[in-house]
Amino acid sequence: TFIASKLGKNLFNKITAKDSSYLNKAGVLVNTNPGYSLSDFIEVEPNQSYFGKGTDSRGMRFTTFFNAAKTVIAGGSDDFTTSVVATSSTRYVRVSILSTDKNTFQLERGTSATPYADYAVSQVLTGVLIDSTAIRPATITATRIADRAITPAKLASRSITAGQIAPRTITTTEVNFVQESKNLFNKKIKEVGYFLNENGVKNANATYTLTDYIPVTAGQPYFGKGSSTTGMRFVSHYGSPTEAGFIRGGSTTPTQTFTPPDGVNYVRLTIMTADTATFQLEAGTSATPYTEYGGVLRGVKVDSTGII
């Protein structure tokens, strides 16, 4: 694949954080303290230093380390700290922070704070050189080259000839090489071993996996299924991508189809854990061949020297 997901520097996703909860370093979960917010599993690198702080200078109240199987391991902290170092066995961390810090907290690589940035995931092209024949004649103007800081050396190395550079405007159609996948389920962002019941309450059960908040359009039918015939065990409705945005009325029985009513802008699906590698949610009323979540290149010819 030429599409890679890239996290921004802030590894803390406040949208998936669990309010009124904290987890101590031994992995004991407390769900009844409004003073705290608990992060989701955050992927980290072994032996790497991380710095975490919000408005409160004390940083993180608890840090809990997990191995690749998301089992609690030694090495977390039960005291306020702004710095942690992942052990050689650590693959994930969950941080418990003050609820007042939720909108300003940043967890990042390193040993000191940098200016705050929202959590973000971008998709980038990697290892691709574009053959000159993939660029329509007379579609690159001098102004556009200046705006993009393309130097003559870069043009030469990419084989863009004078025939492609002429005084015309580049349109959206001509430069939009990425088309979003029909599969709306991102299997990289999920909660394994959990389901949401009809009241929007999260429960532990290894049979199920809970998706992230998935944007949907009211009145549009959707079809979801993996390898099994079960489809979706629960469909939970949300007006906004937060726990507070929960709306009653989602499906509480196994189904392969649903149509969001007015006011529903997001759903979270409970699916079979065994289906996570093959599950596809798509617009429509029937299944089509499986595709990975993300973006695909269209209308681009790739020079063989650009394949790494």
Mean pLDDT of 83-89: 95
Check: CB of residue 161 under 8 Å from CB of residue 134. Answer: no
Report which of residues 47 and 165 the model is more confident about. Answer: 47
pTM of the model: 0.45
Q: How far apart are the first and last CA of the chain?
A: 11
pLDDT tops 80 at residue 86: yes
Distance CA 228, CA 255 (A): 12
pLDDT tops 80 at residue 6: no
Mean pLDDT of 33-43: 95
Burial label, 24 (beta-carbon count in 10 A; 0-12, 13-18, 19+) = middle
pLDDT tops 60 at residue 35: yes
Q: Give one DSSP letter per residue of the chain, joined into a string.
A: --EEEEE-S----TTSPEET-EE-TT--EE---TTEEE---EE--TT-EEEEE-SSTT-BSEEEEE-TT--EEEEEESS-BSEEE--TT--EEEEEEEGGGTTT-EEEESSS--------EEEEE-S--B-GGGS-TT-B-HHHHHHHT--HHHHHHTT--GGGBSS-PPPHHHH--EEE-S----TTSEEEEEEE-TTS-EEEEEEEEEE--EE--TT--EEEE-SSS--EEEEEEESSSSGGGEES----S-BSEE---TT--EEEEEEEGGGTTT-EEEESSS------SSEEE-S--B-GGG--
**Over the stretch 125-180, which tens digit does the pLDDT of each residue have?**
665 555 555 566 555 555 554 444 445 454 444 445 545 544 443 444 444 555 67
Report which of residues 99 and 146 the model is more confident about. Answer: 99
Distance CA 189, CA 40 (A): 10
Burial label, 199 (beta-carbon count in 10 A; 0-12, 13-18, 19+) = exposed
Q: In what order do the strands lie in the sheet with 83-85?
A: 83-85, 49-53, 106-109
- CA 221 vs. chain centroid, Å, equals 24
Residue 231 has phi, psi (to 5 degrees) of: 75, -115
Q: Which is nearest to 38 in space by CA: 88, 85, 93, 79? A: 93
Position 167 scores a pLDDT of 44
Check: CB of residue 223 under 8 Å from CB of residue 256. Answer: yes
Q: Which tokens belong to 77?
A: 């902290």
Burial label, 12 (beta-carbon count in 10 A; 0-12, 13-18, 19+) = buried
Residue 236 has phi, psi (to 5 degrees) of: -110, 130
**Over the stretch 24-34, which tens digit does the pLDDT of each residue have?**
989 999 988 99
Distance CA 96, CA 67 (A): 18
pLDDT tops 90 at residue 279: yes
Q: What percent of the chain has pLDDT over 90?
A: 66
Mean pLDDT of 216-226: 95
